[in-house]
Amino acid sequence: MSGKSFLIDTSACMACRSCQVACKAWNRNDGTVTRNRGSHQNPPDFDGNTFKLVRFREVRAGNKVSRYFFSDQCRHCIDAPCKDVIDSAVTGGAIQDKATGAIVYTEKSKGAPFKDVRSECPYDIPRQREDGTIVKCTMCIDRVSNGLQPACVKACPMGGLHFGDREEILARAEKRLATLKAKYPKAQLLNVETVRTIYLVVGDPKEYHKFAVASANPGVTRKVALRRMFGPAIDALRTVARG
């Protein structure tokens, strides 16, 4: 399998949030009106203008404090359940770029059932804008297909975000994991086989974020499995029914 992948090395993160802002800058996404709710994590969650979000967690055990910073974004699943849901509702609402493997939603995603799209995502990524469009990280497909790094990767001061050919990224991930294992025995790569955004964590992934690893049944739920089985037929039926 070729295409592109991200490596997000959380051990390097210092939560400067340049990735979060760089994402907004490239995608021309508005700032969200927020309040401080007793956390530095802001906006509180993904929203229609926030495709990249640094999540903050902190834990104290005795005298030792651990901070878990998680630069969250779409995983660009190899086999993306969100695309299946969107495809089943509307043709061309989501596409998978051949060269990179990026999953990109289009304006036609308005026609897809947002709740299903979101609930089918094992990582709780998709969000909806007021106009109904479903949105998320695009892998900066316009930058990438013109030979540039994704905006977040370029902006990271710590070299914690990497992007490149999948084989290269996988090799880098394994090498980095081996290095970190010496200091952090619990270090691991998350869902490496099924996603293009590979996270490297040094502690329990659940300490970072509820959806750091794929929830429940990564990839395929029964509903989606059914759709796949009957794929085009069901879509055709739907289209007719809606028509």
Q: For residues 112-151, which are near another protein according to CB under 8 A?
A: 133, 135, 138, 141-149, 151
Please give the Cα distance from 18 to 153 (Å, whole number).
9
Number of residues interacting with another protein: please give it, by CB under 8 A.
72
Cβ 73 to another protein, closest distance in Å? 15
Phi-psi region of 31 (alpha: psi -120 to 50; beta: other; left: phi over 0): beta
Closest CA to 86 of 71, 101, 102, 105: 105
Candidates 156, 169, 170, 187: give the one binding another protein (CB under 8 A).
Answer: 156
Q: Is 166 helix (H, G, I), strand (E, B) or coil?
A: helix
Whichever of 60 and 222 has its CB closer to another protein, that residue is 60
Is 234 a binding residue for another protein by CB under 8 A? The answer is no
Whichever of 99 and 233 has its CB closer to another protein, that residue is 99
Whichever of 104 and 214 has its CB closer to another protein, that residue is 104
Please give the Cα distance from 42 to 14 (Å, whole number).
15
Whichever of 5 and 221 has its CB closer to another protein, that residue is 5
Tokens standing for residue 187: 């270090």
Is 167 a binding residue for another protein by CB under 8 A? The answer is no
Candidates 40, 115, 175, 181: give the one binding another protein (CB under 8 A).
Answer: 40
- What are the two backbone dihedrals, phi and then psi, of residue 103, each rounded to the nearest 5 degrees? -100, 120
Is 203 a binding residue for another protein by CB under 8 A? The answer is no
Is 239 a binding residue for another protein by CB under 8 A? The answer is no
Whichever of 73 and 109 has its CB closer to another protein, that residue is 109
Is 182 a binding residue for another protein by CB under 8 A? The answer is no
Please give the Cα distance from 123 to 71 (Å, whole number).
13
> Which residues touch 183 (CB under 8 Å, ≥6 apart)?
202
Phi-psi region of 147 (alpha: psi -120 to 50; beta: other; left: phi over 0): left
Is 222 a binding residue for another protein by CB under 8 A? The answer is no
Is 31 a binding residue for another protein by CB under 8 A? The answer is yes
Is 189 a binding residue for another protein by CB under 8 A? The answer is no
Please give the Cα distance from 34 to 84 (Å, whole number).
33
Whichever of 84 and 221 has its CB closer to another protein, that residue is 84
User: Do 150 and 163 meet the contact criterion of CB atoms below 8 Å apart?
Assistant: yes
User: Do 5 and 169 meet the contact criterion of CB atoms below 8 Å apart?
Assistant: yes
Segment interacting with another protein (CB under 8 A) among 71-79, 158-166, 191-199, 227-235: 158-166
Is 207 a binding residue for another protein by CB under 8 A? The answer is no
Whichever of 105 and 211 has its CB closer to another protein, that residue is 105
